[in-house]
Amino acid sequence: NAGVTQTPKFQVLKTGQSMTLQCAQDMNHEYMSWYRQDPGMGLRLIHYSVGAGITDQGEVPNGYNVSRSTTEDFPLRLLSAAPSQTSVYFCASRARDTQYFGPGTRLTVL
Amino acid sequence: GDSVTQMEGPVTLSEEAFLTINCTYTATGYPSLFWYVQYPGEGLQLLLKATKADDKGSNKGFEATYRKETTSFHLEKGSVQVSDSAVYFCALSPGGNYQLIWGAGTKLIIKP
């Protein structure tokens, strides 16, 4: 069991560029989510999905898109990167009340 | 709305000291409460949880008791080690959809 995997681990973008952060889980969890972690602010929910084909917005969805075509994969797309999106991004899947996190992607937008 | 408040860090202790990290919450109903830990360079992982009042969660020498009368879920450990250095997050789940509401995190530094 690999658990939750994320790629890349590190990424530097220029303002206006787009990219996709990959997330996959092999635990057959229906619920998956994306968070961003900023200093002193804990985790903020960007988007989540309760199953394949179903996504919804979290607390800070602007500037991000998601899709869920399979149970395993839940990619996060940055449409036009901005410096305010510099952060550490975590993907998580959930079994009942326990969340399982990936190792994170550290994104810097110049 | 529902919220979680943690003590600000960093908390710096010597090895073998007693640890308390305070966590209080505001919620309607009967939430579940959690402590997650984030070791340097890693994602978060569940440390312990409690799902009803007076429950005690425990793991790796850490304990926390769900106190409804004081709306608290303080994390304690009797004797900390250098390897406990990490960021600790308190969180609550209001129930139903299992969405988590997070505290800001408390960085713990243990000096040898």
To the nearest whole Å, the CA of B45 is away from the closest chain A CA by 6
Q: Which phi and psi angles does B56 have, rounded to 5°?
A: -115, 125
Any idea which of A23-27, A35-39, A94-98, B46-50 has the lowest mean pLDDT?
A: A94-98
Q: Which of A20, A9, A10 is nearest to A69 (CA)?
A: A20
pLDDT score, position B98: 63
Residue A24 has pLDDT above 80, yes or no: yes
B5 alpha carbon, distance to own chain's centre: 10
Query: Is B105–A94 a contact, with Cβ atoms under 8 angstroms apart?
Result: no
In angstroms, rounded to a whole number, what is the distance separating the alpha carbons of residues A30 and B38? 24
pLDDT tens for each residue of A98-109: 899 999 999 999
Query: Is B43–A41 a contact, with Cβ atoms under 8 angstroms apart?
Result: no
Query: Is B32–A97 a contact, with Cβ atoms under 8 angstroms apart?
Result: yes
* % of chain A exceeding 70 in pLDDT: 100
Nearest chain B residue to A88 by CA distance is B43
Using CB atoms, pick whichever of B41, B43, B93 lies closest to residue A97: B93
pLDDT score, position B42: 87
Any idea which of A7-21, B62-76, B87-101 has the lowest mean pLDDT?
A: B87-101
A97 touches chain B (CB under 8 A): yes
A39 touches chain B (CB under 8 A): no
pLDDT score, position B96: 62
pLDDT score, position A42: 82
pLDDT score, position B24: 97
The sign of the torsion formed by the CA atoms of B13, B16, B18, B23 equals positive
pLDDT tens for each residue of A53-71: 999 999 999 999 999 999 9
Residue B67 has pLDDT above 70, yes or no: yes
Quick one: average pLDDT of A9-28?
Answer: 97
A5 touches chain B (CB under 8 A): no
What are the CA-CA distances from residue B9 to residues A44, B22, B89 (Å)?
A: 19, 11, 11
In angstroms, rounded to a whole number, what is the distance separating the alpha carbons of residues B112 and B108? 13
Residue B101: other Cβ atoms inside 10 A:
21
Size of interface A-B (CB pairs under 8 A): 44
A36-73: b or e for each residue (b if 16 or more CB lie within 10 Å)? bbeeeebbebbbbbeebeebeebebbeebebbbeebbe
pLDDT score, position A96: 82
pLDDT score, position A3: 92
Residue B34 has pLDDT above 70, yes or no: yes
Query: Token match 């304990």: residue?
Result: B63
